């Protein structure tokens, strides 16, 4: 007699404008099947990431014509659910998704009211056990790479040094703001393309990481280490920001490209590049702002499109992972599958251990309550 219990996972088709990623790939479906997870995939879910429906069927998934969230134990998606998608969930369902909860408080409240247990992929704690589940890092890696490629495409000059019969072409100068996962990938990519790279970060640990990639760390006078929880940068005072801007203005005035990656989870992005700093830049330079969705690191960033200010173009980069949907989906699907393996026992089925450090860190709503302290505070303030 077979004593194993089957867990059902629904992979939703993304409905938010511009979102091309998908929360599962044929490879992740095969992996989950080994854990006795039955995967339902909405038809067309993988189309934007170039995973045809037939490839999911071949991997063992069942294609469904509509949102079967009410019948699933687990539901996985990429973008935050709409209110209509929340309404389709059943109490007790476990949702795995990127949530950006500080920007979608109405959705968070709806999830709590519905009795959904929400595991926010962007709240996964940065601890060793959770590295393979860390979706923020996997997607930031894509963003950092794509930001440099976009900058190279937008510029009207070469990135590398060239010695030609007609003369010497100097390499591009790139300034990267923030040396987290996205920033370090941007540094590595810009160096591979032959640029001279300078990096600004307020965390002392970033200095060695920047040096290891062959870039130059930008020093700020009287700087204090601002490493926060989970290795992220914490907020700093206006006095430090003024000193940092003074130093950055000099570097930006010589830069061909600026890659902005500085973000603080759950808070607006720090404004590092003022309008005056942009006006000190050379005409033809570009600013790529990965932090655009949280307000941007540049004062002139517009999340809806490129801004041209006195010949300097400011390009929002919040949707870069979706622009590289195939690779980004493969990474995100691995994050989801690994998390599911933590939640599902082959014999007993789904078990949400709220005492587990990884689960507790990512848990946003559970048993009708908002369990993430910072988000709960924001909801109270918003009430």
The Cα–Cα gap between 21 and 79 comes to 9
The Cα–Cα gap between 283 and 274 comes to 16
pLDDT of residue 3: 56
In sequence order, the β-bridge partners of residue 40 are: 10, 62
Other C-beta atoms within 10 Å of 237: how many? 9
Residue 63 in tokens: 């294609």
CA 269 to chain centre: 13
Q: Are 224 and 240 in contact (CB under 8 A)?
A: yes
The Cα–Cα gap between 106 and 80 comes to 11
The Cα–Cα gap between 361 and 355 comes to 10
Angle (CA) 157 159 162, round 5°? 85
Q: What is the largest CA-CA distance in the chain?
A: 80
Q: Which CATH class is domain 143-323?
A: alpha beta
The Cα–Cα gap between 108 and 125 comes to 19
What confidence tens digit (pLDDT) does each residue in 122-157 have?
A: 999 999 999 999 999 999 999 999 999 999 999 999
What confidence tens digit (pLDDT) does each residue in 227-283 have?
A: 555 545 555 667 777 888 889 999 999 999 999 999 988 788 999 999 999 999 999
CATH topology assigned to domain 7-134+325-370: Rossmann fold (3.40.50)
Give just the sign of the alpha carbon dihedral 323, 129, 119, 342.
positive
Is residue 173 pLDDT above 60, yes or no? Answer: yes
Q: What is the pTM of this model?
A: 0.92
Residue 179 in tokens: 């040396």
What confidence tens digit (pLDDT) does each residue in 89-121 have?
A: 999 999 999 999 999 999 999 999 999 999 999
The Cα–Cα gap between 72 and 37 comes to 11
Per domain, the residue ranges of the chain are 7-134+325-370, 143-323
3-state secondary structure of 58: helix
Q: Do domains 7-134+325-370 and 143-323 have the same CATH topology?
A: yes
Residue positions annotated with a catalytic role: 126, 131, 134, 137, 232
pLDDT of residue 1: 37
Residue 164: phi, psi to the nearest 5?
A: -120, 165
Among the listed residues 340, 356, 335, the one whose alpha carbon sits nearest the alpha carbon of residue 9: 340
pLDDT of residue 2: 52
Q: Where are any strands of DSSP class E within 173-255?
A: 173-177, 196-200, 216-217
Contacts of 132 (CB under 8 A, 6+ apart): 334, 335, 338
For residue 345, give the H/E element and its range. Answer: strand 344-345
Torsion of Cα atoms, 144 then 259 then 126 then 244, to 10°: 170
Stretch 333-339: mean pLDDT, rounded?
A: 98
Stretch 205-218: mean pLDDT, rounded?
A: 94
Other C-beta atoms within 10 Å of 284: how many? 13
pLDDT of residue 223: 61
Stretch 37-59: mean pLDDT, rounded?
A: 97
Residue with tokens 């539901």: 75
């Amino acid at each position: 007699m077979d004593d194993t219990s089957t867990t059902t996972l629904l992979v939703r088709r993304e409905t938010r404008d511009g979102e091309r990623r998908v929360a599962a790939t044929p490879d992740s479906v095969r992996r989950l099947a080994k854990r006795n997870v039955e995967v339902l995939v909405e038809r067309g879910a993988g189309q934007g990431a170039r995973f045809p429906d037939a490839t999911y069927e071949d991997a063992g998934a069942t294609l469904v014509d509509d949102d079967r969230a009410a019948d699933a134990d687990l539901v996985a998606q990429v973008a935050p659910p709409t209110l209509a998608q929340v309404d389709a969930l059943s109490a007790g369902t476990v949702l795995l998704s990127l949530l950006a909860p500080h920007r979608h408080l109405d959705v968070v409240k709806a999830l709590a009211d519905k009795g959904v247990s929400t595991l926010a992929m962007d709240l996964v704690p940065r601890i060793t056990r959770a590295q393979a589940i860390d979706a923020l890092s996997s997607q930031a890696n894509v963003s950092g790479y794509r930001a440099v490629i976009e900058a190279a495409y937008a510029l009207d000059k070469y990135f590398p040094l060239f010695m030609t019969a007609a003369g010497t072409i100097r390499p591009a100068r790139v300034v990267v703001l923030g040396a987290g996962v996205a920033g370090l990938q941007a540094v590595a990519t810009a160096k591979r393309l032959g640029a001279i790279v300078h990096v600004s970060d307020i965390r002392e640990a970033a200095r060695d990481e920047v040096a290891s990639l062959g870039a130059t760390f930008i020093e700020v006078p009287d700087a204090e280490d601002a490493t926060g929880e989970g290795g992220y940068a914490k907020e700093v005072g206006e006095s430090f920001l003024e000193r940092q801007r003074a130093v950055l203005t000099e570097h930006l005035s010589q830069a061909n490209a600026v890659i902005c990656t500085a973000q603080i989870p759950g808070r607006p992005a720090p404004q590092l590049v003022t309008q005056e700093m942009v006006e000190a830049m050379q005409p033809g330079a570009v600013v790529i702002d990965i932090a655009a969705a949280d307000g941007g690191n540049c004062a002139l960033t517009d999340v809806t499109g490129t801004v041209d200010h006195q010949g300097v173009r400011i390009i929002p980069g919040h949707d870069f992972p979706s622009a590289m949907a195939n690779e980004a989906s493969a990474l995100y699907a691995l994050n989801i599958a690994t998390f599911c393996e933590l939640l599902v026992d082959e014999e007993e089925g789904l078990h949400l251990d709220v005492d587990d450090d990884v689960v507790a860190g990512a848990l946003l709503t559970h048993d009708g309550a908002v369990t993430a302290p910072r988000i709960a505070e924001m909801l109270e303030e918003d009430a």
